[in-house]
Amino acid sequence: MFRIRKVTDDIYPMNKEAMGQVLDILRQRFPDIKEEKILLIPEQLRNPLKYQFRTILLVADNFNGKVMGLALLLHAPDLDFCYLDYLASRSKQQISGVGGALYERCREEASLLGSCGIFMECLPDDPSICNEETHLNQNAARLKFYERYGARPIANTLYETPVNPGDTCPPYLVLDPLDAASLPAAKKTRSIVNAILRRKYKDYCPEDYIQKVAASVTDDPVQLRAYKYLIHPKQTAVSGKTADTGLSLKTGEQAKTNGKIAITVNDRHSIHHVKEVGYVEAPVRISAILKSIENSGLFHTLEVKKFPEKHIREVHSNQLVDFLKQSETTYPKGNSVYPYVFPIRNANRKPKDVNVLPGYFCIDTFTPIHHNVWKAATGAVNCALSCANHLVANGGLTYALVRPPGHHAESNVFGGFCYLNSAAVAAGYLAKYGKVAILDIDYHIGNGQQEIFYRRSDVLTLSIHGNPSTTYPYFCGFKTEKGEGEGLGFNHNYPLNEGIEASEYRQTLANALKTISNYKPSWLVICLGLDTAKGDPTGSFYFSTKDFEKNGRMIGSLKIPTLVVQEGGYLTRTLGANAVNFFKGLHESFYPKKHNHLKLQNK
């Protein structure tokens, strides 16, 4: 199993680790390349103006961060073309799906950038210009691989002319037109050839050689060599092997959402059902939302994967995790234990009585412990992590529709119906790949992520909520709480008074979004509370379905890859309508207009 993701720097932990593996793979697979050229790749990512290309590094890796393959795609925005510099796997051993999936992703990237095609160099399969038989077989295999996508050498040019007398096997210039109806004009192609030779080989190709090769492009439009290996060519990949890398062309684990929101649903949420009067955090919340969004045409179901427990322990203490995990055997089926004794004088001594122990880890008296808590809470976490993993690979929008909620769970304590902070765990995961902003728009303060990231600067935390002087959990969420140490200035609270007008709320939201925009995060996590709706039993705001749509539209305008994690919202009569309107606004603002036909087609 693998995913394909962009590596945008060599700074954040997972990116730095991936970059090291990428350089090692290139050394292994291309031993003739000079070391200084390989070491330039991190600099190319950081300084595109210097190299006149925007560098896009794609890696295929697994959940443990092992890189199995890479593609280095160069984009020239001034001439609207892409150049494939490298496509390589870790070794010659067959790794199913990596090669084809990487190249397909290159084609998707190039298409999204509006490129006229992907240009690349391939060594020749013609014995008249390459007389080494072993090389000819490998070269033919490469060209056959690219033919499957419609990519072929540009015909009738001098590109294969050796730079120096005695040079052997000069490369073809291959063009993948990306399924376009027409090929580039001669003038444009001459400019592209000129740019490739000057930007990539200025220290090797003399000026008269560059001018001669560029001038040799006279066909208008440019012509490609006839298909040599495929009788019935297809413009998309089919099953097969790439002999140059030993890879299969199977598409692997790459999910293609086509402009939809990738959604995960915690299928274990219903086992956490506290059937007591007044306990509003009930399974019907999920079904109410699902019923409304399933026919909206906005969503694409994403497979939920099980992630290692280490991701939870990176944001929650071992003591809390062990307590919740042991609840499976500590508390018998059908028996919910409510906290009622709290360690306000000596928190260093845990009680031994299992009926008193919950109070050691809880902040209130209405969040019970029972034998299914761990299963339900970890199910929610896996949903959020699956969405986060999808974001790393694909960007876009994702939605973890989960319960129990999580944003009140701190590193050492649970409460407010929350046991594990799914949003914080996902943010911690994403922070290994770039900066993260968490915006909590539940009616109640997201005290969990505030406490967890209070001393960190790589995760910006913001919360818009009811005034903590009158709103749960009462002890935090004030404007004066700004963070500590390295995290000073990276926590922002926006407490609002009861009954605030929706228009005034949006002014506050605009301020929060401006703070996020200035922070320039790679990822945005939204803690979505629908308890700001008119009539919600736990809130005092009066938002209509249109207000939720407007809020979603404002957030989507940031166009930051976004994970939405479901938190509160307890008026089941309007939950579904409010959710679908929020996502309608988010989707239509985030994606280009060309994607907005999805909703209409699925009505």
Digit-coded pLDDT (tens) for 472-513: 999 999 999 999 999 999 999 999 999 899 999 999 999 999
pLDDT tens digits, 234-255 = 443 333 333 232 222 222 333 4
Element of type H or E holding 601: helix 597-601
**Which pLDDT band holds residue 277 (cuts at 50, 70, 90)?**
low
pLDDT exceeds cutoff 70 at 256? no
Q: Kindly tell me if the per-residue pLDDT of 233 is higher than 50.
A: no
Nearest alpha carbon to residue 249 among 142, 322, 335: 142
Nearest to 367 by CA among 420, 289, 317: 420
pLDDT surpassing 70 at residue 405: yes
Q: CA 330 from chain center: how many Å?
A: 38
CATH 3.40.800.20 domain locations along the chain: 261-601
* pLDDT of 258: 66
pLDDT category at 93 given cuts 50, 70, 90 is low
Rounded alpha-carbon distances, angstroms, from residue 251 to 102, 110, 113, 562: 9, 18, 22, 24
**Cα separation, 472 vs 531, whole angstroms:** 13
Q: Which residues contact 348 (CB under 8 A, 6 or more apart)?
A: none
Question: How does pLDDT run across 422-442, given as a tens digit for each residue?
Answer: 999 999 999 999 999 999 999
Residue 308 φ then ψ, to 5°: -60, 145
Q: Boundaries of CATH 3.40.630.30 in the chain?
A: 3-248
- CB-CB contact of 545 with 578 (8 Å): yes
> How confident is the model over 361-400, as pLDDT tens digits?
888 888 889 989 999 999 999 999 999 999 999 899 999 9
Q: What is the pLDDT of residue 284?
A: 84
What does the alpha-carbon distance between residue 152 and residue 259 come to, in Å, rounded to a whole number? 30
What's at 382, amino acid-wise?
N
pLDDT at 353 over 70: no
Peptide bond into 177 cis (omega under 30): no
In this prediction, residue 303 has a pLDDT band, given cuts at 50, 70 and 90, of very high
The pLDDT value recorded for residue 90 is 86
The 3-state secondary structure of 520-544 reads CCCEEEEEECCCCECCCCCCCCCEC
Q: Is 328 helix (H, G, I), strand (E, B) or coil?
A: helix
- The DSSP element (H or E) to which 74 belongs, if any, is strand 67-76
pLDDT confidence of residue 336: 84
Helix-helix angle 186-201:207-215, to 10 degrees: 160
* Residue 603 pLDDT: 31
The Cα 406–Cα 283 span in angstroms is 15
Q: Is the separation of the CB atoms in 441 and 462 below 8 Å? A: no
Looking at every residue in the chain, the average pLDDT score rounds to 88
Between CA 217 and CA 211 the distance in angstroms is 11
For residue range 132-180, list pLDDT tens digits in order: 777 888 899 999 999 999 999 999 999 999 988 878 889 999 999 999 9
Q: What pLDDT is stored for residue 341 in this prediction?
A: 80
Instruction: Report whether 483 contacts 519 (CB < 8 A).
Output: no
CATH (residue range 261-601): 3.40.800.20
Q: How confident is the model at residue 599 (pLDDT cuts 50, 70, 90)?
A: very low
pLDDT at residue 422, rounded to an integer: 98
Tokens 């699925």 belong to 602
pLDDT of 271 > 90? The answer is no
Compare 224 and 598 and report the one with higher pLDDT. 224
Residue 219 binned pLDDT confidence (cut-offs 50, 70, 90): very high
Q: What is the rounded distance in angstroms from the CA atom of residue 288 to the CA atom of residue 285?
A: 5
What pLDDT does residue 359 have? 72
pLDDT band, very low/low/confident/very high, at 598 (cuts 50, 70, 90): very low
Residue closest to 99 by CA, chosen among 108, 81, 86: 86
Cα dist. 207→37, 187, 211, 213, 402 in Å?
Answer: 22, 19, 6, 10, 62
Q: Distance between CA 9 and CA 315 in Å, rounded?
A: 24
Higher pLDDT, 283 or 58: 58
Encoding tokens for residue 195?
């740019």
Q: Which residue has the higher pLDDT, 338 or 177?
A: 177
Assign 117 to helix, strand or coil: coil
- pLDDT in the model for residue 601: 34
pLDDT confidence tier of residue 131, bands split at 50, 70 and 90? confident
Residue 522: predicted pLDDT:
94
Give residues with Cβ within 8 angstroms of 325, minimum separation 6.
374
Q: What is the mean pLDDT of residues 521-549?
A: 95
Phi, psi of 154 (to 5 degrees): -75, 130
Read off the amino acid at residue 564.
V
Residue listed under structure tokens 């003399």: 206
Q: What is the pLDDT of residue 255?
A: 43
What is the reported pLDDT for 396?
94
Cα–Cα distance for residue pair 149/180, rounded to 1 Å = 12
Q: Please tell me whether residue 105 adopts helix, strand or coil conformation.
A: helix
The structural architecture, per CATH, of the domain 3-248 is 3-Layer(aba) Sandwich (3.40)
Q: What is the mean pLDDT of residues 121-129?
A: 91
Please give the positions annotated as active site.
408
